[in-house]
């Protein structure tokens, strides 16, 4: 049997005067090696993507992290320069794909920007430059050239008792690599908080009443999926959900 296929929304980026639809290799590699699926990169078009046509052809959605941030107008705020950079093509691609995947029961795994997209797609809001808020740690990625150092596992999150992540990660403290300057301000009504940092920052969520796996994490399990047990467990759980969904379509 062929491998299931997972859609990954692209970013819209400019290099050397040309524009590209791109996804960081670490997400593609984690999908293949960690979840056991084949990635399908969805172009970041502000118009022209048919969400149902895409979802008809895939068995899951992986909303990746990115350098850009969700545009504040999508959660009721006026945009300022410090909220950027923005990617309206990614917004227009990812948010409708997330909403429709949830409606159809397509498994969804959202990482970093993807978690923030999930929250906004369902009616939540975001806070920017959270390190400037009283009592909040500096969660930003270190500005160093060595990516192993930049993505180093250095922070605890606390997985809640009874959460859907408890069977995957265990209950209590899990060491992760959470790298971000934006975070959930108000969680969407349909989201359950699965894990938090010691400073109270929401680090993982799930969709209440979802028909399939629908989880978002603020950290980066894709980077260490080969060597870190918790990272591997998340991608394995996503892959199992994708295969279950594919099997249900083939019956």
Catalytic residue status for 164: no
Q: What percent of the chain lies above the pLDDT cut of 70?
A: 100
Whole-prediction pTM value?
0.96
Task: Give me the catalytic one of 112, 117, 139, 203.
Answer: 112
Task: Give me the catalytic one of 14, 82, 220, 240.
Answer: 220
Task: Give me the catalytic one of 14, 180, 222, 240.
Answer: 222
Please state the domain count of the chain.
1
Domain of 110 in residue numbering reads as 5-250
Catalytic residue status for 222: yes
pLDDT at 150 over 70: yes
Catalytic residue status for 220: yes
Count of helix runs (H) and strand runs (E) in the chain: 7, 13
The pLDDT of residue 2: 85
65-121 residue pLDDT tens = 998 999 999 999 998 877 889 999 999 999 999 999 999 999 999 999 999 999 999
Question: b vs e for 189-202, b when ≥16 Cβ sit within 10 Å of the residue's Cβ?
Answer: ebbbebbbbeeebb
Residue 158 is part of a domain; what is its CATH number?
Answer: 3.40.50.880
123-146 residue pLDDT tens = 999 998 888 888 888 788 888 999
């Amino acid at each position: 049997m062929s491998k299931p296929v997972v859609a990954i929304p692209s970013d819209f980026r400019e290099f050397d005067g040309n524009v590209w639809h791109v996804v960081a290799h670490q997400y593609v590699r984690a999908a293949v090696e960690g979840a056991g699926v084949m990635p399908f990169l969805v172009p970041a078009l502000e118009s022209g993507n048919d969400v149902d046509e895409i979802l008809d052809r895939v068995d899951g959605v992986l909303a990746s992290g990115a350098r850009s941030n969700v545009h504040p107008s999508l959660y009721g705020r006026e945009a300022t320069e410090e909220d950027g950079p923005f990617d309206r093509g990614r917004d227009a691609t990812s948010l409708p794909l997330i909403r429709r995947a949830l409606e159809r029961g397509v498994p969804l795994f959202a990482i970093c920007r993807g978690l923030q997209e999930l929250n906004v797609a369902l009616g939540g809001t975001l806070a920017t430059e959270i390190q400037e808020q009283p009592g909040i740690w500096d969660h930003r990625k270190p500005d160093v050239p060595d990516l192993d150092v930049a993505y180093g596992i250095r922070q605890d999150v606390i997985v809640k008792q009874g959460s859907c992540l408890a069977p995957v990660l265990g209950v209590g403290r899990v060491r992760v690599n959470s790298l971000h300057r934006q975070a959930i301000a108000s969680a969407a009504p349909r989201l359950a908080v699965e894990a938090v940092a010691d400073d109270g920052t929401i680090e993982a969520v799930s969709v209440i009443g979802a028909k399939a796996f629908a989880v978002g994490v603020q950290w980066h399990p894709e980077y260490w999926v080969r060597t870190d047990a918790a990272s591997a467990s998340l991608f394995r759980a996503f892959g199992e959900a994708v295969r279950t969904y594919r099997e249900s379509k083939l019956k």
